[in-house]
Amino acid sequence: MRPVRTIRTQVGIVGAGPAGLTLAGLLGRQGIETVVLENKSRDYIEHRIRAGVLEQGSVELLEEAGVAGRLKREGLVHHGIELQFDGERHRVPLTELTGGASIVIYGQTEVVKDLVSARLAAGAPLLFEVQDVRLADIDSHCPRVEFSLEGQVTQLECDVVAGCDGSHGVSRATIPAGVLSSYSREYPFAWLGILAAVAPSSDELVYAHSPRGFALLSMRSPQLSRLYLQCRPDEDIASWEDARIWEELQLRLGLPGWTLAEGPVLEKGVTPMRSFVVEPMQYGNLFLAGDAAHIVPPTGAKGLNLALHDVRILAEALVDYYATGSKKSLAAYSERCLRRVWRSEHFSWWMTSMLHRSWDGDQYDEKLQVAQLRYTVTSGAAAASLAENYVGTAKA
């Protein structure tokens, strides 16, 4: 189909997840024009339940993008997490171990809602439910994004395209074969997650290693709990009635003198686990950011924070490009991001390996995990290492 209309912008952004929307917000504040294209509806992206832990640096970036008002009012500031193993809980005092850093619990879904409403309030272009998105001429000085909206085929001409369309998007797939190297690891686990209308039973997140498998107690607000259970990647959610989920959570998280408060299950789903990175994160005038370039398993709570870190670097490089006309910073984008990407890949793999039970019940593995957990909570150096990675202050 031939385009029937052409529009022009400086930076075309594919995908309205946290990466694309935050990039648009940061560039908007610097007077750089963007058009954001999203293939799902506004309602869909504002109700998809995703991650919930923000590093301090991520909070600061959202402040810079001008969207942290509600996050500052409603986000829950946490100064520690709990590691549970061998029937006991041990607190890792994140703030104490990192010279004052903390994390904020605030759902990715809420971040997306705040970014969308700020964008629409500013009258800046954000198009939902676009179809047949196709990137063209990405190695030229005038890359284009073609799409159709309500039957009208449009061509968006840009200086640069930001591929922020997640792990199943079209951007990465547009890069010619042979350019990218990819690195991945599959895990034999997934997480069965629920959102429940009940006050969280712990003030802080609890990561539990148990003979029945991993479990995590998290939250979204003083009235909403978010809980996860290690399960198989092909787990049939239909066989997990609410009562069975609570029973399993009680078994994995329960301790003498402590019970998990139960409540109505509002949402449930299975999250697969994968580690994946492509290098470089750029080809011509296409720059990949967030899940489009890398995936981490959720155990380290890094996916959202990495996506935000990428767009911070990309926004800085674009601001430099428009100010000076030099592409030097843009050329350094991939390398600058990848150092941190690999730090987070390692941390997420490490947390995943330490906390999940192998299905064959390998006793040697389990003994190693417990030895590692015990070392992590008894050695100041080991605890500090976990803490600086968790809060995002570790040097990459």
What positions carry a catalytic annotation? Answer: 78, 207, 298, 302, 390
Instruction: Select from 11-19, 67-75, 89-97, 249-257 the region that touches ligand APR (CB under 6 A).
Output: 11-19
Residue from 51, 133, 158, 278 binding ligand PHB (CB under 6 A): 51
Handedness of CA 232, 308, 82, 244 (dihedral sign): negative
Instruction: Select from 45-53, 71-79, 235-243, 255-263 the region that touches ligand PHB (CB under 6 A).
Output: 45-53
Residues 117-146 that bind ligand APR (CB under 6 A): 133
Residue 178 region, left (φ>0) first, then alpha (ψ -120 to 50), else beta? left
Q: Which of 172, 181, 374 is nearest to 293 (CA)?
A: 172
Instruction: Select from 43-51, 73-81, 213-221, 258-266 the region that touches ligand APR (CB under 6 A).
Output: 43-51
**With CB cut-offs between 5 and 8 Å by kind, which of ligand PHB, ligand APR, none does residue 374 bind?**
none
Per rule CB under 6 A, count of chain residues that contact ligand APR: 26
Least separation in angstroms between residue 299's CB and ligand APR is 12
Binding flags for ligand APR, 271-300, as an x/- string (CB under 6 A):
-------------------xx---------
Beta bridge partners of 254: none
Alpha carbon distance 223, 328 (integer Å)? 48
CB-CB contact of 303 with 291 (8 Å): yes
Q: Is 165 one of the binding residues for ligand APR (CB under 6 A)?
A: yes
Alpha carbon distance 206, 212 (integer Å)? 16
Residues 263-302 that bind ligand PHB (CB under 6 A): 298-299, 301
Can you count the helices (H) and strands (E) in the chain?
13, 21
**Residue 119 C-beta-side C-alpha neighbours within 13 Å:** 28
Alpha carbon distance 369, 375 (integer Å)? 10
Residues engaged in binding ligand APR (CB under 6 A): 14-20, 37-40, 45, 50-51, 108, 133, 164-166, 169-170, 290-291, 303-304, 307
